[in-house]
Homo-oligomer: A and B are copies of this chain.
Amino acid sequence: MSTFPSDIEIAQNATLQHIRKIAEKINIQEDDLEYYGKYKAKLPLELQSENPKGKLILVSAMSPTKYGEGKTTMSIGLTDGLNYIGRKAIGVLREPSLGPVFGLKGGAAGGGYAQVVPMEDINLHFTGDFSAIEKANNLLSAVIDNNLQNPKFSLNLDPKSIAWKRVMDMNDRSLRQIIIGVGAKSNGTMREDGFNITPASEVMAILCLSKDLEDLKFRLGNIFVGKTLDGKAIFARDLKVVGAMAVLLKDALKPNLVQTLEENPVILHGGPFASIAQGTNTVIATKMGLSLGDYVVTEAGFGADLGAEKFFHIKCGQSGLKPDAVVLVATIRAIKHHAGLSSEDFKTENVAAIEKGFCNLEKHIENIQKFGINPVVSINAFPDDTQAEYDKLKSLCLAKGVTAIVSTAFVDGGKGSAKLAEKVIEEINKGEANYKPLYQKEDSIEHKINTVAKGIYGANSVEFSPKSKSQLKMINDLGFNDFSICMAKTPASFSDNEKLIGRPTNFIITVREFEIASGAGFIVPLLGDVMRMPGLPSIPNAERIDIDNNGKISGLS
């Protein structure tokens, strides 16, 4: 048996086109490109048209397992598949975060023959967007603490009220909860603070939701910082730091063009996590893709309970975008996982387990249907899958009115997703997608949380911790009731307990606390014990990553 090459081997052996050539395919002039080396370029905001004509395809997934369901692989494969069947399609996806590269996950640029390249650059600093977001976030923090330090110019901020955290794009659990300003008076005011991971920063959310530079500045100004000692709300604009934050973000606001292994255009822009943030690439990039191509494939991971729900309520809610089709990624092994099997049993054919574990995918299908769109299921093929398992899964899907199609994009690239692409086009041509939100702006925050927890997760009820109750009162007092909610929850389960696999019932969702993102226009309920700063595993992937003296990298998965 020959060994299938690793992702990085495939990427390193690929012959890349100069990014100028990729840009040509979607009618972008060379002079509009801001090169970052030969294979990456930033695109000017002007390429975004007012009313773009392209069709929007949202890729989401069943509840993911630690083995990886290949959402990005499927998104890239579908982009290649659409081009393979002669359509002008552009992938518009998130940028990977550096933190997980050194943790468990490794890279996030697709896999096998469905990758975006240059894979190494994309997984590392790329064009510096994450770093710019981090700096803008932390400049606000430095200015907040500087304001506490200088009584003469002080806004009279109550140090205990400060809601703004620092961020770092690193899996670093030791920074979750920290005491700053220790030591001499010149070291600042001592107070509790913490770092979130950069993809969880509100600045990231703002960048992803902004229409343009003006909107970006307006939103940055609306960031809630904390309260004065006499109870007045203080926003970033009160600290006169909005201009400087926007200057730091001027390039990050521009989408990035790269290519798939099949030389099709992909725009990567913005990278909020779907578990602890709103999860999808920038509105600007999506609109730009819809302006430049006939079809845009975009992704909202992790499970659709998180990614798709937020895509609908937050991204569609704020931007007016509406998907024309939804693809749900499933794998035979994830279905088996949700049937309660452990990984050593994945290799054995088990049709009964498909029947049992389908409940997870089923609930996701029902959820997408609730939003007014009938999804297509894309089964990401793995070597141990059997035809009988595929047949069972397909018939289960069909019983829900949904077509399931096997994609071999990992092994075959676009050709392997050609059938899926045909089916997606067929769905779009039906014109039946009719997105509608499950909650309205005017609904209370509690109502919004209940709607998602019961309607999407299948919970019996929602419990609010004492802390979250008092925060809820403050949120109402601040007039933030109109905001969307951006749930932070484990992606491993519909519930807030990662151990409840499949389609759990009779469970309670616990709102532990809230984070406020008034510039982004949402409230983040933290459910269960979810953390907005991950940690490294016992043996971090960092140990496997290396570069030889000739500059060749290994260990980026």
- Residues of chain A touching chain B, judged by Cβ–Cβ distance below 8 Å, are 34-38, 42, 98, 102, 120, 124-125, 128, 131-132, 135, 138-139, 141-143, 145-146, 149-150, 152-153, 168-184, 186-189, 192-193, 212-214, 217, 240-241, 243-244, 246-248, 250-251, 531, 535-536, 538-540, 542-543, 545-547, 549-551, 553, 555-556
Min CB distance A336 to B, Å, is 29
User: When the two chains form their complex, are residues A178 and B182 in contact, meaning their CB atoms are under 8 A apart?
Assistant: yes
For the A-B complex with A174-B188, A217-B547, A241-B543 known, give 17 more contacts whose Cβ atoms are closer than 8 Å.
Answer: A34-B38, A125-B248, A128-B131, A131-B131, A131-B135, A139-B542, A143-B536, A146-B538, A149-B173, A150-B538, A153-B538, A174-B187, A177-B181, A178-B179, A213-B550, A243-B545, A243-B546
Closest Cβ–Cβ distance, residue A465 to chain B (whole Å): 15
Do the beta carbons of A170 and B183 come within 8 Å of each other? no
Listed from nearest, the 3 A-B pairs whose CB atoms lie closest are: A243-B546, A174-B188, A131-B131
> 9 interchain pairs (CB within 8 A)?
A125-B128, A138-B168, A143-B540, A176-B187, A178-B178, A178-B179, A244-B542, A244-B545, A250-B547
Contacts of A180 in B (CB 8 A): 174-175, 178
Assess whether B182 is in contact with A149, with CB atoms less than 8 Å apart.
no
Q: How far is the CB of A94 from chain B (nearest CB, A)?
A: 19
Q: Is the CB of B545 within 8 A of A146?
A: no
Give the chain B neighbours of A131 by CB distance below 8 A. Answer: 125, 128, 131, 135
Most buried by B among A141, A152, A535, A539: A535
CA of A128 to CA of B248, assembled, Å: 12
A170 to B167, CA, bound (A): 13
A418 to B399: give the CA distance in the assembly, Å: 84
A240-B543 in contact (CB<8A): yes
B125:A536 contact, CB within 8 angstroms: no
Distance in Å: Cβ of A174 to nearest Cβ of chain B: 3
| A248 contact set on B, CB distance < 8 A | 124-125
Question: Within 8 Å CB of A174, what residues of B?
Answer: 142, 145, 149, 180-181, 187-189, 193
Q: Which of B139, B168, B177, B538 contacts A102 (CB 8 A)?
A: B139
Cβ of A535 and Cβ of B172 under 8 Å apart?
A: no
Contacts of A247 in B (CB 8 A): 120, 124, 545-547, 553, 556
A535 & B125 in contact (Cβ 8 Å cutoff): no
Q: For A213, what are the chain B residues with a Cβ–Cβ distance below 8 Å?
A: 547, 549-551
> How far in angstroms is the closest Cβ of chain B from A378?
32
In the bound complex, residues from chain B placing their C-beta under 8 Å from that of A142 are 102, 170-172, 174, 536
- In the complex, A531 Cα to B189 Cα: how many Å? 17
Chain B hits for A551, CB < 8 A: 213, 250
Q: Are B182 and A536 in contact (CB under 8 A)?
A: no
A146 CA / B534 CA spacing, docked (Å): 12
Partner of A35, one of B36, B188, B240: B36
